[in-house]
Structure 1
Amino acid sequence: MTKQLLVTDAGFFPHAHRHECERPEGAREHIFLICTAGSGHVHTPAGRTNITKGDAVLLPAGLPHEYRADQDDPWTLWWFHTVGPDADELFASAISIIDGYVAHLRDTAAIAALTAQVIEALDTSTNGGLVRASGAAWHVLTHVISAGKRPTSDSIDAVDMALEHLQRISPERVSVEELAALAELSPSQFSALFKQRVGVPPLRYQNDLRLARARELLATTEIPIAEIATHCGYDDPLYFSRQFARTHGHSPSSYRSRFQ
């Protein structure tokens, strides 16, 4: 099952001070990076591009490249390497759609969550883990392709406005009716367009945003789990722990120990 798309390496670099990599001949695998904090830059034959929070980088196999974290505000990166015929096609499609090697994404929560799943699945060192890692990586790349497509209607532009609003006010909860009013659509129209564009319903997306922030805090800080729950919009730490474990297959404390 993994001969079409196999994840060979994956990882997470929080606040990666002095992180840099130079491959004059490129890599043997396709490389995907997503920045969730800080900044840096990537240099390819197309030139230099500054990378900030929310940017995804796609480096196809054999492409000469160099990338480096910013000295004063080093990036936090989630990444994986992949090979196979499906990986070839997905990278080629994504690069064609975004017209380059860097995608400036409005929505990073879902993609960062999937990349975390790639890392966790690969970490199991089992055949089942390899299959799960490949599936999550395939999902990451299709998300980038979908997000990179230009809106084709005012309604989809309205969904983009709703996404920006949710990211700005997270972890506050907003009803579907409120979001639909913001987009000037009926709740049913908005929900259908939102799921078509983002891949999940509006309430699920809001939960993904909150859990994405929780993962970042668990992996990069020593803040107590009860405080992280409150910071991410959960009044009950036990409910937060159950939601986190149901989504990730690990308790918050177990997740923290794996990444730290």
Structure 2
Amino acid sequence: MLIEDGFPGQRLRVLPARRVRQALTQPGIAHLVVTDAGYFPTAQAHGKERPAGTPQCVVLVCVLGAGRVRVDGAVHEVKRGQVVVLPPNVPHAYEADQADPWTLWWVHVLGRDLEEFLRQSGMTAAQPVRHLRDVYRPVSLIEEIVGAMEHGDTDASLLAASGAAWHLMAQLCAEQVAGATALPVVDAARDYIVAHPAEPMTVAQLAAMARMSPSHFAAQFRKRVGVSPLRFQTQVRMGRASELLLTTANSVEAIARAVGYDDPFYFSRVFRSVHDVAPTVYRERARD
């Protein structure tokens, strides 16, 4: 039995139908209106069937795991590092792989610019799945959309979501343009680590998103950045932790969680290895 949502750690926002109708008349927002957006991690038994399609365009970015989509009766396999674009009003269904369920970032959009974006991207009902040369940027943009919608359905929130959606669709079009140059994948991975210090990303997961082997990804990352991916992640986390220690009154336990450590004692050991003192001492010295 397939389920639509309810996965541990998920994020999900749906714009009320009345607000969608209003947004479609508002300057700026009307170009691309995000009606639904979310994040489904390790979505076991996830799936959806729409025999008549949906008025919105559905964009699914698979960052881990696998699944499949059926569009107009044709089945397409979906793997990590791929994007699925389902045009409006086209019958479709999709589901996560049973053995290796996908992790998805996704949005539903509609608006006056949508048709042109779909035409320029070259993604059609016959070819709804494509490999992404840079999976990090679309994921960051969808996360930006979800974050904006989590602040409510104010004009400001919807405008921010619309802008990120416009950028997302433009990114998909850019990948289609002959001779378009994608961002270097290592630079994108580095930026992703900086933007998500609390996310428990392993080298294998980062490499999978980049569609590279872990060893090749690690070697390219070290060559480009100067340190290993995990060392860089630790540097980013400890830099953020020191900032929080100096600028907030948050407990060490709260700061540990904010930078990706469930165990505050382990966090303290790592912090000491980088800054030579315990987090509490670091904070106290700054106040002297």
Question: Is 1:148 the equivalent of 2:176?
Answer: yes
Please give the per-residue CA displacement for 1:185-238, whole angstroms capped at 9, x wherever unaligned.
xxxxxxxxxxxxxxxxx5xx35323246656538xxxxxxxxxx9565232534
When the two chains are superposed, the root-mean-square deviation of aligned CA atoms in Å is 3.2
Distance in 1 separating the partners of 2:192 and 2:146: 19
| Residues 117 and 133, structure 1, Cα contact 8 Å, conserved in 2 | yes
Gap change, CA 1:44 and 1:128, over 3 Å in 2: same
Aligned to 1:14: 41
Q: Which amino acid aligns with 1:72?
A: A
Question: Is 1:69 the equivalent of 2:99?
Answer: no
Gap change, CA 1:216 and 1:28, over 3 Å in 2: farther
Aligned to 2:142: 115
Question: Is 1:210 the equivalent of 2:193?
Answer: yes
Gap change, CA 1:215 and 1:83, over 3 Å in 2: farther
Q: Which amino acid aligns with 2:161?
A: A
CA positional deviation for 1:45:
1.9
Q: Provide the identity percentage.
A: 30
SS at match of 2:233: coil
Aligned to 1:92: 119
CA positional deviation for 1:148:
2.5
- 1:185-200 to 2 correspondences below 5 Å: none
Aligned to 2:265: none
- 1:15-34 to 2 correspondences below 5 Å: 15-34=42-61
- 1:234-245 to 2 correspondences below 5 Å: 234-235=234-235, 237-240=237-240
Question: Is 1:55 the equivalent of 2:82?
Answer: yes
Distance in 1 separating the partners of 2:173 and 2:193: 24
| Residues 97 and 149, structure 1, Cα contact 8 Å, conserved in 2 | no
Aligned to 2:110: 83
Aligned to 2:233: 233
Gap change, CA 1:134 and 1:236, over 3 Å in 2: closer
| Residues 90 and 125, structure 2, Cα contact 8 Å, conserved in 1 | no
Task: Give 1 or 2: higher helix fraction.
Answer: 1
| Residues 58 and 87, structure 2, Cα contact 8 Å, conserved in 1 | yes
SS at match of 1:17: coil
Aligned to 2:70: 43
Gap change, CA 1:206 and 1:70, over 3 Å in 2: closer
CA positional deviation for 1:150:
3.7
| Residues 81 and 135, structure 2, Cα contact 8 Å, conserved in 1 | yes
Distance in 1 separating the partners of 2:168 and 2:83: 10
Structure 2 residue ranges without an equivalent (≥5)? 1-27, 202-228, 245-254, 261-288
Aligned to 1:129: 157
SS at match of 1:235: helix
CA positional deviation for 1:241:
5.3
CA positional deviation for 1:109:
0.6
CA positional deviation for 1:122:
1.0
Bigger-Rg structure (1/2): 2
The size of the alignment, in residue pairs, is 195
Distance in 2 separating the partners of 1:234 and 1:241: 10
Distance in 2 separating the partners of 1:100 and 1:54: 16
Q: Which amino acid aligns with 1:233?
A: Q
Gap change, CA 1:69 and 1:132, over 3 Å in 2: same
CA positional deviation for 1:99:
7.4
Aligned to 1:195: none
Structure 1 residue ranges without an equivalent (≥5)? 167-201, 219-228, 245-250
- TM-score normalised according to structure 2 size: 0.59
Gap change, CA 1:68 and 1:123, over 3 Å in 2: same
CA positional deviation for 1:8:
0.7
Aligned to 1:169: none
Distance in 2 separating the partners of 1:19 and 1:46: 19
